[in-house]
Amino acid sequence: MGIVIAPILSALQHYRRKIKARRDHIRTERLIGSLPRSIQKDIGWPDVHAKRLADRWKSIP
């Protein structure tokens, strides 16, 4: 019985980590988006973020 449950729990944990990472990412985007434009410009937002997203999508087959 434990042999059957272990892979299911592993898959659920993986899904939970993925959802948490997505929520953290969205929360960070909202936080940075709420900053004044001058601070966003100082940290390179959204230019650096847009480049990272474009690079990420290129690497996914």
Query: In 3D, which of 29, 52, 25 has the Cα closest to residue 40?
Result: 29
Give this prediction's pTM: 0.65
Instruction: Give the pLDDT of residue 47.
Output: 75
Asked whether the beta carbons of 46 and 40 are under 8 A apart, the reply is yes
H or E element at residue 36: none
Asked whether the beta carbons of 40 and 53 are under 8 A apart, the reply is no
Please state the domain count of the chain.
1
Domain range for 14 = 2-59
User: How do residues 18-47 score in pLDDT, each as one tens digit?
Assistant: 999 999 988 998 999 899 999 988 888 877
Q: Look at 15 and 56; give whichever has higher pLDDT.
A: 15
